[in-house]
């Protein structure tokens, strides 16, 4: 009996332990990654992001602290890429886990932090998901290029976001909804140190106040982005840096590549010297980031959170300095622009491990959600990389027949400014140019309800009538004018506004045409009526004005406007004969003083006089606090007016597009009998055939779009000519550099130069494939140009080998590229090939050179 009781007690104890163990690993997606003896079940997450940091040019070689902490202490991915080598599109992909064609941020200007982005995609960033599940989320640093600081993006509890583009000094941040300006003092204003200290303080305070709640932080550095201002202690480092001189350095011109590469020639000596100087300054800025990573690491050690924190280090895209003759920049589809550093360290990640799998910036959001124990939303295009980081079991590590982990081997690289608009117009053209017979199109059109009634609907212009032979015909509604005229008399809430279609011109009795002499007399009479003014209207200007100042009354003569503004006016005191020149100067500087009749009141304390001089209250010149308050008030007023001007321009453009039809009765003289005929003829011209309405609508949109582009180019050209800037070439993006560009040491003193290195309309779509047998880059440009590079034989993409590829292979690559260009969600954007069971790497990969089967869509 005792043995039976002891056995029963032992069984109950084991069951209780299993239940406790299940509670610690119940978080969805964690799969036992978190240690059970930790205070926080879910781990902390820290994402460290740099701006424009390359891999191909050796920028990581100088960051010894980061490499020791992240590379030796964690996992490194040697094939990490970005889907778009541009700042704002790539950062938008990181936040949402989507390709560019799904979040519609094509460039650093178009749709970057726009109202549509804020309404559709920003509420679905990874920060929103984590914040809703109890994470203490915080963002420090650069957000998006066009972020204006007027709001706090959803999902962030702590917010210190840089307004507009990267800067190290003289910038403004939005700190939890309040704008905070910074100057040029290194100790308190250097941007890299500012966000590092703020993030460390926030993490410490969060763990002190909420010890059981996990923290997710993003530390987004501006380095090594321009203006490349380094910390003073690093301004003399790397005088002979030459890692950027790769085999593709100054390899130009490239007549076998797309049109920008064909146009770009070899660099001049001053350009080559500039690339050396620029590379040196970029490396100097990264030394402050290197110190920042070390400070974050030491903070995690001191707080005891290192073993329960995932730290991710990466960049938004790469960079080129002199490659293919391009002086500087990004936005090219080659490896120096799309490869980025990527390191991860955290619980159960093997230190020093190297992973050759292809990962993308769209994988960041799903990975962060997976770390937090959340499933990947179906609209995200990326995949979590955590399963790649899980260590293999000991018994399976040395098996020769073990199955490799299934993962993608092909990614999409896309860049385009008017991508969606071109696709929509092409889709519309396809719909218009169907090849159905005419009677089939008429039959299909007559199935619509608006053509089935006998001209009874308001505004109906066409109707379908069946003739004696049984065929359907489309006829014009001849009595539509009378029907619409009757309906105009009815009043409704909808018809109270002005409408160009319903408004008719009322020119009175237009059948009478006066003679030429009579019209001349009417014009003379109208002119004399304008000159005539009644005698009883007081129109004489004021000659003098009485002003009381400091208890004394003065008479100011207002007729002497020809005198200079600095000369004292004739002022006569009524009761005293003392000199008042000093008092007058105080009057002009005082708010109660009377300015000249043509002065303009700008603010409640400042005026602009007739001679373009500004005078304000005496208090503003004497009190620094009043001066500062009024200056900040003016800055806020300017910002508000700029926003208002932007809105007014949008309304003006809307009004231009919706301009009603006008009729000028004074310019044309016609008989009353001919008027209805002219109106009938004019309205009949607007009644296009239904087959042509869609074509005209698309043509009108394209015409308006081209017109807006033309006007924008003209404005830019006028502004450039006004500044005297002749650094421009048609279709290219150019920049000028002079001795005043860099405000911190080391200084550039070799003079100014102009360079054109990119283009806004450089639109392309590329496939990047890496597996056991192939390492290729295949690109299709919007101009129809093709590029193909085999990196196994040409690692620096020096020669375009598209003419050596079979036509069938190019067709397969084109089909795969078209599928990826339109993919949505991680199931479509990460296809598994047919050879999954018997494939090579990652359980089977798509082989672009196999001939036994063609690419014909996705599986799974």
In sequence order, which residues have a C-beta less than 8 Å from that of residue 101 and are 6 or more positions away?
414, 419, 420, 821, 822
Which residues are tagged catalytic? 87
Closest CA to 47 of 361, 294, 382, 364: 364
User: What 3-state DSSP class applies to 320?
Assistant: strand
* Residue 443 burial (C-beta neighbours within 10 Å; 0-12, 13-18, 19+): middle
Q: What is the DSSP string of 24-57?
A: HT-STTTTT-S-TTSS-SSPEEEEEEESS--STT
In sequence order, which residues have a C-beta less than 8 Å from that of residue 475 and are 6 or more positions away?
462, 463, 464, 465
**CA 311 – CA 48 distance, rounded (Å):** 7
**CA 614 – CA 603 distance, rounded (Å):** 11
* Residue 773 burial (C-beta neighbours within 10 Å; 0-12, 13-18, 19+): middle
In sequence order, which residues have a C-beta less than 8 Å from that of residue 92 and are 6 or more positions away?
98, 100, 103, 105, 112, 117, 121, 144
**CA 301 – CA 295 distance, rounded (Å):** 10
b/e per residue, 96-120, with b = 16+ CB within 10 A?
Answer: bbbbbbbbbbbbbebbbbbeebeee
In sequence order, which residues have a C-beta less than 8 Å from that of residue 80 and are 6 or more positions away?
314, 339, 340, 341, 342, 359, 360
Q: What is the DSSP string of 759-822?
A: -TT--EEEEEEESSS-EEEEEEETTS-EEEEETTT-TT--S--GGGS-HHHHHHHHHHHHHHHT
**CA 683 – CA 502 distance, rounded (Å):** 11
DSSP letter at 350 equals P
What is the CA angle 635-640-643, rounded to 5?
130
User: What 3-state DSSP class applies to 420?
Assistant: helix
Which residue intervals of 608-742 are DSSP H helices? 618-622, 624-657, 674-686, 690-723
b/e per residue, 802-813, with b = 16+ CB within 10 A?
Answer: eeebeeebbebb
The alpha carbons of the chain give a radius of gyration, in whole angstroms, of: 36
Quote the distance between the C-alpha of residue 347 and its chain's center.
35
User: Which residues is 358 bridged to in the sheet?
Assistant: 79
Closest CA to 437 of 467, 471, 461, 460: 471
User: Side-chain half-sphere of 641: how many Cα atoms within 13 Å?
Assistant: 6
């Amino acid at each position: 009996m005792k043995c039976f009781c002891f056995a029963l007690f032992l069984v109950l104890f084991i069951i209780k332990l299993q239940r406790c163990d299940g509670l610690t690993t119940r978080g969805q997606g964690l799969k036992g990654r978190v240690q059970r003896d930790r205070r926080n079940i879910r781990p902390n997450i820290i994402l460290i992001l740099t701006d424009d940091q390359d891999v191909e040019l050796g920028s990581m070689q100088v960051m010894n602290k980061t490499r020791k902490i992240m590379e030796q202490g964690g996992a490194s991915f040697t094939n990490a890429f970005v889907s778009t080598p541009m700042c704002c599109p790539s950062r938008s992909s990181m936040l949402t886990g989507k390709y560019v064609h799904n979040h519609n941020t094509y460039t650093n200007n178009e749709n970057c932090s726009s109202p549509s982005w804020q309404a559709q995609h920003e509420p679905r960033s990874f920060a929103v998901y984590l914040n809703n599940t109890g994470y203490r989320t915080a963002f420090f640093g650069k957000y998006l290029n066009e972020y204006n600081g007027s709001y706090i993006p959803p999902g962030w509890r702590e917010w210190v976001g840089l307004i507009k583009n990267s800067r190290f000094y003289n910038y403004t941040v939005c700190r939890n909804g309040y704008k905070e300006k910074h100057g040029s003092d290194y100790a308190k204003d250097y941007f890299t140190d500012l966000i590092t200290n703020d993030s460390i303080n926030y993490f410490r305070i969060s763990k002190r106040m909420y010890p059981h709640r996990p923290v997710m932080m993003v530390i987004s550095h501006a380095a090594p982005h321009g203006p490349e201002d380094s910390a003073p202690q690093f301004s003399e480092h790397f005088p002979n840096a030459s890692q950027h001189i790769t085999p593709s350095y100054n390899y130009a011109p490239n007549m076998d590549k797309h049109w920008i590469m064909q146009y770009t020639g070899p660099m001049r000596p001053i350009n080559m010297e500039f690339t050396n100087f620029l590379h040196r300054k970029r490396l100097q800025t990264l030394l402050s980031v290197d110190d920042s990573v070390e400070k974050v690491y030491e903070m995690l050690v001191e707080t005891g959170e290192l073993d329960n924190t995932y730290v991710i280090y990466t960049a938004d895209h790469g960079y080129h300095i002199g490659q293919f003759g391009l002086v500087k920049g990004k936005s090219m589809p080659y490896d120096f622009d799309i490869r980025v550093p990527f390191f991860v360290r955290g619980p159960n990640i093997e230190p020093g491990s190297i992973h050759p799998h292809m990962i993308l910036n769209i994988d960041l959001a799903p990975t962060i959600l997976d770390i937090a124990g959340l499933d990947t939303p179906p609209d995200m295009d990326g995949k979590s990389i955590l399963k790649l980081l899980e260590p293999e079991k000991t018994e399976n590590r040395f098996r020769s027949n073990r199955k490799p982990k299934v993962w993608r081997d092909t990614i999409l690289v896309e860049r385009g400014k008017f991508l969606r608009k071109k696709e929509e117009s092409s889709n519309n053209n396809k719909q218009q140019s169907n090849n159905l017979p005419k009677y089939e199109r008429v039959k299909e059109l007559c199935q619509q309800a608006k053509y089935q009634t006998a001209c009874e609907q308001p505004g109906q212009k066409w109707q379908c009538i069946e003739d004696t032979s049984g065929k359907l015909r489309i006829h014009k509604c001849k009595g539509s004018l009378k029907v619409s005229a009757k309906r105009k008399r009815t009043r409704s809430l909808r018809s109270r506004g002005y409408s160009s279609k319903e408004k008719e011109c009322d020119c009175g009795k237009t059948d009478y045409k006066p003679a030429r002499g009579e019209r001349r007399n009417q014009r003379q009479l109208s002119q004399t009526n304008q000159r005539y003014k009644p005698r009883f209207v007081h129109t004489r200007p004021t000659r003098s004005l009485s002003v009381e100042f400091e208890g004394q009354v003065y008479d100011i003569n207002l007729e002497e406007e020809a005198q200079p503004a600095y000369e004292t006016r004739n002022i006569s005191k009524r009761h005293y004969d003392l000199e008042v020149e000093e008092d007058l100067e105080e009057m002009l500087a005082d708010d109660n003083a009377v300015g000249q009749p043509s002065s303009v009141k700008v603010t409640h304390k400042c005026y602009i006089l007739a001679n373009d001089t500004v005078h304000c209250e005496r208090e503003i010149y004497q009190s620094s606090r009043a001066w500062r308050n009024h200056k900040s008030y003016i800055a806020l007023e300017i910002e508000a007016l700029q926003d208002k001007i932007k809105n007014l321009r949008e309304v003006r453009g809307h009004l231009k597009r919706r301009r009603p039809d006008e009729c000028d009765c004074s310019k044309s003289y016609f008989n009353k009998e001919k008027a209805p005929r002219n109106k009938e003829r004019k309205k009949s011209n607007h009644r296009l055939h239904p087959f042509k309405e869609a074509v005209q609508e698309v043509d009108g949109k394209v015409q308006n779009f081209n017109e807006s582009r033309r006007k924008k180019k003209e404005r830019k050209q006028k502004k450039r000519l006004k500044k005297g800037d002749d650094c421009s070439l048609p279709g290219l993006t150019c920049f000028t550099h002079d001795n005043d560009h860099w405000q911190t040491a080391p200084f550039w003193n070799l003079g100014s130069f102009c360079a054109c290195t990119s283009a806004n309309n450089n639109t392309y779509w590329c496939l990047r494939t890496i597996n056991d047998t192939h390492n290729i880059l295949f690109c299709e440009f919007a101009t129809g140009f093709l590029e193909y590079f085999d990196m196994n034989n040409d690692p620096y993409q020096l020669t375009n080998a598209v003419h050596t590829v079979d036509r069938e292979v190019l067709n397969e690559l084109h089909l795969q590229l078209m599928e990826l260009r339109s993919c949505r969600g991680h199931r479509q954007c990460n296809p598994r090939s047919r050879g999954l069971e018997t494939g090579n790497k990652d359980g089977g990969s798509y082989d672009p050179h196999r001939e036994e089967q063609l690419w014909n869509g996705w599986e799974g």
